[in-house]
Structures are given as C-alpha cells and as structure tokens.
Amino acid sequence: MRTIGIIGGMSWESTIEYYKTINQEIKNRLGGLHSGKIILFSVNFAEIESLQYSGDWELAGKILANAAIALEKAGAEFILIATNTMHKLAHHVSSSVNIPLLHIADATAEQIIKSKLKKVGLLGTKFTMEQDFYKRRLTEHFNIDVLIPNNKDREIIHNIIYNELCKGIINKDSRKEYIRIISKLEESGAQGIILGCTEIELLINQADCNVPVFPTAKIHAIAAVEASL
C-alpha cells in the first residue's frame, strides 16, 4: 500500500470527507481492519482565503509547495490537494516535489468520459468557475465542453460555499438555490453536473438532480485509493 499525502484544511469540513472516504473504500476492498496509509498536512484556511481574495496566488503557491515538501519528507508517495480551487496552483505543488500529484480534474474527467458525456455544468467557487485553470484542462485534455452559471448565480454559489458550507452550515434554502441553478444548466444542455467544490457534496447529491452528478471530493478520494493499492 502506497502512502497518500493530503494537503487539506481548505476547508477542513471537506478534508474530513476525504479521510473518511479513503478509509471506508480501503476497508471495503481489503476487508478486516485495513485502513489507509495517510499523511495529512492541514493548512490554516483563513490565511489561504485571504490570499485568494487579495490575488496573491504566488504566496499561496509557496504555502502549498512547502506543505507538499513536508509530506514528501514525511514519507508520502503521491499527493492530493483536497480542494478544487487550489488546483490553480497545481504546478507549484508538482514542481516542488519528486512524487506525483493526483489532479482532481483528471480524476473527475475520467468518470465523465466513462459516463459517455460530452457537455457538463460546473459548480464551484468563482475562481474555479470563472478562471481557465480547471475548465481548460477538461476541454483541452479530455474534450469535455463546460457550461457555467450566469454571473448572479455564480455569486450565489460562491457565497454559499464560503459563508455556509466551509463553516459546516447546511441550509435547506441554499440547497433549493443550488437545485434551481443546476436545473438552468440542464436546460442549457448540461448532460451532467460537476460538483466542483469539495464542500458542495455536503449540500447536494445525486437525488437532487435529473442528470448524473460528479462529486469531485469522492471521485478524487477513490482515485487516491486506486493509486495507493
């Protein structure tokens, strides 16, 4: 079993789900008392969030790179960044260590391709929805068309993530808003929906949607199990 290194804490609410999913999946596959070999470096999300909003991605990249270096020194054999947004800095992480980075967008794209879908809607932080680092990877590497909500709806999605989900607040009215936005994406031709922020899975699941959903934290965690085993 290879040792999994996780850069977490962005937010810790979703990092818990990574830890739980990895261990449950390994137990399911191996049985008995088997669990994952995991090293977790959990950052202070307040520091990261401040750098996101000030646009200081360079310093944020250094923080993640230092976390990756620490994980490698501690014995990790590959690394996960347990958040979609901070994959904007994936190169900072991968270039700082000699072990592989398991990219969340790649793991998600593989599941979309297995489902034989060509066009999907993307929910996430404004950084993930509006910037190119995530959408471009799906389009250029996997030939997947990506739809995003309109500006007003992007603002709603983003604010719910940071003001509620990252703080462990689950609001039924917010769920209704997400379902409304997802329905609009479906009407625009989305054949599936990427839950492209790891906290969204705390609020939305397959039962809330008429098309397949792709819960990125769960997909990423299971991909880590497969890489570990």
- CA pseudo-torsion sign 136, 9, 204, 217: positive
Choose, from 197, 198, 209, 216, the residue flagged as catalytic: 197
Choose, from 83, 85, 128, 216, the residue flagged as catalytic: 83
> 117 in the Ramachandran plot: left (φ > 0), alpha (ψ -120 to 50) or beta?
beta
- Report the b/e string of 171-202 with b at 16+ CB within 10 A: eeebeebbeebbeebbeeebbbbbbbbbbbbb
DSSP state of 101: B
**Residues sharing a CB contact under 8 Å with residue 136, sequence separation 6 or more, in sequence order:** none
Q: Is 197 a catalytic residue?
A: yes
Measured CA to CA, the distance from residue 220 to residue 65 in angstroms comes to: 20
- Contact, 209 vs 96, CB < 8 A? no
Pairing of strands 119-123, 78-81: unpaired
Q: For residue 222, what are its two tokens?
A: 């299971």
Q: For residue 76, what are its two tokens?
A: 């990790």
- Contact, 194 vs 110, CB < 8 A? no
Q: Is 85 a catalytic residue?
A: no
Active site residues: 83, 197
